[in-house]
């Protein structure tokens, strides 16, 4: 009983400390929009309206993490740099506003500019840039596809000739590409993926960045977020070894565990390739 109480105390302490840090770090700071000193934001966790200094959008120190989260973050950074490096010349990177906070925890704007990048936020307004290449970095949301389509059609109506690239975070979705086909711009696009599944928020906190997962599954009956969670864990296992003990409580958690098992069968992680597991136990709990 004492050990259980000790575990509960440790768990609640970690949640409390991490929550306080996330209130500062994860409030959708407009990190990528110019060099303004302050930005207004809505805090995702507590829904309070706050004003943040841009200097607070700092990449967290992960030196004391129990596993090598720095390597995880560096791989995400490398994947993004590879995308940008493969698009030659000056380009305008148009970022989904919901992704700005996540990217701010991985890469600095100064590093992006080293890749000849001009930064913009995705909005309903046309993209104002002199760049001949426009790169969209977006979540797979249908409304965003319509916004992108509208912007490209606006360019065409003005006689602008540009190359367009759309990178889905973390993976491409057929329904989104159908929007491009319906809007008759699919042939103008180079489409890819930026596999950003997990964000280290702190040395002991990882985020899947799934704000709407609870509503999607329990209200809309959309289980795609469960696949996303399982895929994120599977990617962690590819770096830190196959987790030997998985415990799940709740309908959604059990489904995540089942999907994870199927992934290991279909895309097996060979223990001899990654070494002994660094994570001994995974506990999945439903928010109910």
Q: How many CB atoms sit inside 10 A of residue 11's CB?
A: 10
Strands (E), 195-238: 199-202, 205-207
- pLDDT category at 57 given cuts 50, 70, 90 is low
Domain annotation covers residue 143: yes
Is residue 131 included in any domain, yes or no? Answer: yes
Closest CA to 141 of 98, 184, 92, 102: 98
Distance from C-alpha of 7 to C-alpha of 212, rounded to nearest angstrom: 29
What residues are paired with 219 via a beta bridge? none
Give a yes or no: residue 228 inside a domain.
yes
Whose tokens are 């990654």? That residue is: 274
Q: Tell me the average pLDDT across 144-169.
A: 97
**Average pLDDT score over residue span 72-78:** 96
Domain with 72 in it: 63-193
At residue 287, the pLDDT reads 80
- Dump pLDDT digits (tens) for 220-241: 898 999 999 999 999 999 999 9
Domain check: are 92 and 165 in the same one?
yes
Answer yes or no: do 174 and 236 share one domain: no
* CATH code for the domain of 163: 3.40.50.2060
Q: What is the CA radius of gyration of the chain?
A: 20
How many domains does the chain divide into? Answer: 2
- Rounded Cα distance between 133 and 160, Å, is 11
Model confidence at 76: pLDDT above 70: yes
Residues 187, 222, single domain; the answer is no
């Amino acid at each position: 009983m004492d050990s259980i109480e000790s575990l509960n105390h440790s768990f609640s302490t970690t949640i409390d400390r991490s929550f306080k840090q996330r209130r500062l770090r994860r409030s959708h700071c407009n990190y990528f929009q110019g060099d303004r000193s302050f930005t207004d934001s809505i805090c995702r966790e507590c829904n309070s309206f706050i004003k943040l200094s841009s200097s607070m959008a700092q990449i967290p120190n992960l030196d004391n993490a129990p596993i090598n989260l720095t390597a995880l973050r560096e791989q995400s950074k490398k994947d993004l740099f590879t995308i940008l490096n493969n698009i030659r010349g000056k380009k305008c990177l148009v970022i989904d506003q919901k992704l700005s906070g996540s990217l701010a925890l991985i890469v600095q704007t100064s590093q992006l500019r080293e890749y000849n990048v001009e930064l913009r936020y995705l909005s309903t307004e046309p993209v104002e840039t002199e760049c001949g290449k426009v790169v969209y970095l977006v979540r797979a949301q249908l409304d965003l596809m319509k916004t992108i389509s509208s912007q490209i059609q606006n360019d065409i109506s003005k006689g602008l000739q540009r190359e367009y690239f759309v990178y889905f975070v973390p993976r491409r979705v057929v329904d989104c590409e159908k929007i491009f086909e319906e809007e008759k711009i699919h042939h103008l696009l180079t489409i890819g993926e930026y596999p950003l599944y997990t964000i280290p928020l702190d040395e002991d906190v990882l985020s899947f960045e799934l704000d709407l997962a609870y509503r999607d599954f329990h209200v809309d009956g959309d289980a795609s977020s469960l696949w996303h969670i399982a895929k994120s864990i599977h990617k962690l296992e590819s770096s830190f070894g196959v987790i030997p003990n998985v415990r799940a409580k709740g309908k959604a958690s059990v489904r995540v565990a089942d999907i994870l098992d199927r992934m290991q069968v279909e895309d097996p992680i060979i223990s001899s390739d990654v070494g002994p597991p660094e994570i001994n136990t995974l506990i999945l709990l439903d928010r109910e």
